[in-house]
Structure 1
């Protein structure tokens, strides 16, 4: 019970037993019994009044099946994600009204058929562990989605703008497809990534507004930095149309490496590598794919794609520039968190 409470999961008791038995049992498992509301009192309350009572009452006794189902319904309608656990025939309406119905393997058949989850062990820690794993899965999913929308927004925008001013494509369609395939392979490690403990301490919900804000902050940041790289290659290093294959090769390898290093910025609200570390699998994939990004231009596949051998100076350039992008992204991330209060 304490673990559930500590992880933002409130435990409410709905029972048909009398208040004396209910109070004795709840006190043994550390559930607050300062206020117990009875079924005959529930019947006298309007839905709005009952919702107000539910905000600070954890124990309801002498309830009928219909009263239990009503409370579960009102909890859901007031914005809560409700899980209900029961093993009897009279629990079926509440199991139906809840978002997650939970029963046990010794329950009556109708309760087990109605439930979404059936516990095979007498251990509520299974519920706590399941919720934490669900939050970890959701967190890693959001990492991938936010990384995809921000990097794609930034890269597509910068390529479109650069294509208007350059006399050649900064990267050809086939090169772009292979580039995307390679760093997508690197992102396959995200389901095995670590999640910051702070992230799993409270429930999370899908929020399209948060996704939009993230894209409109990190996407332009990525695009501006990409355009800066294009400018350096054209104006500083003097790579012109006759060396377009070198320009495309640099962008091909840089795009993969910058996205994979940027992954470590996006995966946590903390300072990566110092305050929060990715899993060993993510680090391994990052290193391998970065090496692949440098090797491909030297291979037969690279020649088929129209890439050329990279001079040592530009190999060093490709690794240094993403590090500078990380510092810029950290500044933007700090401002984003300050404004919106969240990250992933």
Structure 2
């Protein structure tokens, strides 16, 4: 507390608001101290009385010299110099005009908790900006790295330009809601500094790591599904496109928190809606498309992570159980009816896995509805 009032009045006010005022330092004592002595005293005292405007500024500068970030709250003409020199000057809407002009923040409500809310909102905004930059930089770098790896070993284009454009569009849509996402409490406990080098390091680490999923997909398409020649390049490109959509949407939830996504930290509803936009009614449309175009192992394989995400949503309580129940039942009926169209054993194995996972979704949904 820095005030121009006399020590007796100051001690009485401090007693009423719960500030320890047993050893008040006065302006006369401050004037007699050197800068070095004052820098030591400001670490020991909490209340200063009988101060002139310049003495208030001197105390602020002593605190700043000691490495503190100083905020000053005042409303009078005598507070203007300190409001100007503080790292953050805070005033109220009923303050003197010169005090308001010297301030960085003017409180419109008679509540200091507004400051806390503003700090938290600022940290949330900063955190969501960092999320977006990390996701975008690492994803783009990972895609470039994957394309370079594929181009070195594959005798055809691993993905068409239209695939990349659509994939980036869908990924950008899934990130549109990040400004409305929440931050973990651990992140909000202390201020963070902008550091471009951290983003670069994050990109160089996560980008190639995310490419592991792409390279694994390349190997599966090449060796398991025999998409290893120019005639089968459409199958290879479609397989990577599907995997890319699934993995990039999952990356949004993985990188938005340092905790376990969906379980320890769940995204806000806008984020869940935009990341789910990529799929639509994702369980039924692929099966109906297979019915029209014929079954392939790569096409059937995209159903497995879809059902896996349903299991995760049910376990975390993030799914609408009734809608999920009907969709799962309908998809299982379609899958069984289309079983006769499967010519390869690998397709039948994938279909069997899909049915078993769908059965688990069915049981979890029924269990949660009953409870």
From the CA coordinates, give the structure whose radius of gyration is larger: 2
Instruction: Find the residue that maps to 1:106 and give its secondary structure.
Output: coil
- Asked if 2 retains the 8 angstrom alpha-carbon contact of 1:297 and 1:310, the reply is no
* 1:189 shift after superposition: 0.9
| Equivalent of residue 139 in structure 1, options 127, 132, 136 | 127
Question: What residue in structure 2 maps to residue 306 of structure 1?
Answer: none
- Asked if 1 retains the 8 angstrom alpha-carbon contact of 2:174 and 2:274, the reply is yes
Map 1:108-119 onto structure 2 (within 5 A).
Answer: 108-119=96-107
Question: What residue in structure 2 maps to residue 3 of structure 1?
Answer: none
Residue 278 in structure 1 maps to residue 260 in structure 2: no
* 1:73 shift after superposition: 3.8
- Asked if 2 retains the 8 angstrom alpha-carbon contact of 1:157 and 1:223, the reply is yes
Instruction: From the superposition, tell whether residues 265 and 26 of structure 1 become closer, same or farther in structure 2 (CA, over 3 Å).
Output: farther
- Asked if 2 retains the 8 angstrom alpha-carbon contact of 1:261 and 1:322, the reply is no
Instruction: Find the residue that maps to 1:101 and give its secondary structure.
Output: strand
Instruction: From the superposition, tell whether residues 160 and 107 of structure 1 become closer, same or farther in structure 2 (CA, over 3 Å).
Output: same
- Asked if 2 retains the 8 angstrom alpha-carbon contact of 1:154 and 1:220, the reply is yes
* 1:56 shift after superposition: 5.1
Instruction: Find the residue that maps to 1:149 and give its secondary structure.
Output: helix
| Equivalent of residue 300 in structure 2, options 308, 313, 321 | 313
Distance 1:26 1:207 in 2: 41
What residue ranges of structure 1 are gaps of 5+ in the alignment? 1-12, 299-308, 324-344
Q: Which has the higher contact order (CA 8 A, sep 6+)?
A: 1
Give the alignment's TM-score, normalised by structure 1: 0.75
Query: What is the RMSD of the two structures over their aligned residues, measured on CA atoms?
Result: 3.2
Question: What residue in structure 2 maps to residue 203 of structure 1?
Answer: 191
Map 1:153-164 onto structure 2 (within 5 A).
Answer: 153-164=141-152
Give the alignment's TM-score, normalised by structure 2: 0.70
* Partner deviation per Cα, 1:273-301 (whole Å, 9 max, x = no partner): 11111111111112122339999999xxx
Q: How many residues of Structure 1 are paired with residues of Structure 2 in the alignment?
A: 301
- Asked if 1 retains the 8 angstrom alpha-carbon contact of 2:225 and 2:297, the reply is no
* Partner deviation per Cα, 1:71-115 (whole Å, 9 max, x = no partner): 334544555443322112222222222333221111111111222
* Partner deviation per Cα, 1:289-344 (whole Å, 9 max, x = no partner): 2339999999xxxxxxxxxx996413225648999xxxxxxxxxxxxxxxxxxxxx
Distance 1:47 1:150 in 2: 49
Question: What residue in structure 2 maps to residue 93 of structure 1?
Answer: 81
